[in-house]
Structure 1
């Protein structure tokens, strides 16, 4: 590693990243109970924090106007690769990450080149912020954008140029390829991937979804009585060419019969639709990516 070049621009790098590193350190201390508020413990033993410091240096060099383009790109990538070997975490130096950033544990975490991450975000190990493709991806924006105060559980994969809003919590082992609105929580129950608002009273709970064939869907859970239903596309816009009749609505079950008035339009969305279930308390659940709905989507367009 060309330490001479780093030393040559030491004052510039130090001044650029000092406040960010301090805020990252304080975020670790305040949010990770395992460090017991001990600054020295984090500074001297947390490799995940070391990776963030090295990212801050590499990012500063990458976007610097004081270092020639050839040297800064090579040096930034060298620092990034060094950090990956030392910590098991890979952060592309071009990624843009706000202050008070924490990666807890961290092994296997990957943050791609065009990622944009807001302030006060917290990632656990094995999180992939990647692109949808494997090889020969198109240049340009291909990685996720995270808002402020986003928490991502271990081994989750957030793929593509999607947007995760502010104040979102994503449970472990989640796979997301569509936008998530602010003030939401994404959880997995069995094969279900469910999006619901955080910290709500009279909460709607979904425990299972079953496709009964002939475009009949059964939804099981709690607090389902006196709810309303809306059909959405992947961008959370209403779809008015899918009609449905609610055949049964009890506290623990809803049975819905669907039909479409325009199959060609439905085929064009190229993505299974979403179901929004909400009640008078402004409590809502959005159902996405479950097997039952995929089966029904296949039937409804044939």
Structure 2
């Protein structure tokens, strides 16, 4: 568990979550991802008015509050980080504690009901009522006890991912599915027969 915990700190450092410039960068990438509405950050929708409009969308406001809470938490302003996370939960009905570590370019198309406890790389996609957590996690061990997601992971609506599992890069989990085991790279978990398939994305 100690090695995994150290790895989570490395991931957080990788995206400069403890620095103001890192906070701004991650928010910009979230906005870019929102404007493209795809798994890639292509240079679309960069006009000032369009970006300003995106800035005030609930999805972006929710992600901004999460990132601010995380920034405060990793800089040892834990109580303030917890307060901002609680405010986010009240306003947007989303449960993302400040300990959780999410890379840039996140999509959160419908925040209410989403639960994310754990860590993820770049371009995470969470659909309506997606749940990622560990019921046994405490405030001090949340990243050790919760799922670790790679880059380009997509959790469909009403999916549940739980426990100290690893989900590798380029994984899609279709709606209404649950998993408590590791998933390798480039996989798609589909409802039919609940089998793993090599993804074509």
Pick the TM interval, shorter chain: 0.7 to 0.9
- Structure-2 change in CA distance of 1:195 and 1:40 (3 Å): same
Cα distance in 1 for partners of 2:138, 2:108 equals 29
- 1:18-48 deviation line (CA, Å, top 9, x unaligned): 111111110111116xxx943233212x212
Deviations 1:191-249 (A, max 9, x none): x312100129xxxxxxxxxxxxxxxxxxxxxxxxxxxxxxxxxxxxxxxxxxxxxxxxx
- Name the structure with the higher strand share: 1
1:21-60 map, 5 Å: 21-31=27-37, 37=45, 38-44=50-56, 46-60=57-71
- Give secondary structure in 1 for the equivalent of 2:35: helix
1:154-193 correspondence to structure 2 within 5 Å: 154-189=157-192, 192-193=193-194
Q: Distance in 2 between matches of 1:138 and 1:25?
A: 30
Q: CA deviation at 1:142?
A: 1.2
SS of the residue corresponding to residue 62 of structure 1 reads: helix
Distance 1:138 1:53 in 2: 23
Change (3 A) 1:197 1:17: same
Unaligned runs of 5+ in 2: 1-17, 39-43
Q: What is the CA distance between 1:136 and its match in structure 2?
A: 7.9
CA distance in 2 between partners of 1:22 and 1:184 (Å)? 28
- The Cα offsets for residues 241-273 of structure 1, whole Å up to 9 and x where unpaired, read as xxxxxxxxxxxxxxxxxxxxxxxxxxxxxxxxx
Tell me if 1:197 matches 2:198: yes
Counterpart in the other structure of 1:124: 127
1:291 corresponds to? none
Partners in 1 of 2:71 and 2:63 — Cα distance?
A: 12
Structure 1 pair 25–194 and aligned structure 2 pair: CA distance change class (3 A): same
Partners in 2 of 1:91 and 1:146 — Cα distance?
Answer: 15
Counterparts of 1:72-83 in structure 2 under 5 Å?
72-83=77-88
User: Which of 140, 145, 148 is the aligned partner of 1:145?
Assistant: 148
Could you say which structure has the greater relative contact order, defined with CA pairs below 8 angstroms and 6 or more residues apart? Answer: 2
Match in the other structure for 1:290 = none
Matches within 5 A, 1:226-241: none
User: Aligned ranges for residues 80-99 of structure 1 at < 5 Å?
Assistant: 80-99=85-104
Q: Cα deviations across residues 135-165 of structure 1 (Å, max 9, x unaligned)?
A: 9899461110110011111110000010111
Higher Cα Rg, which structure: 1
Give me the TM-score of the superposition, normalised by structure 2.
0.79
Conservation of the 8 A alpha-carbon contact between 2:62 and 2:111? no
CA contact (8 A) 1:185 1:196 kept: yes
Number of residue pairs matched by the alignment: 174
Higher helix content, 1 or 2:
2
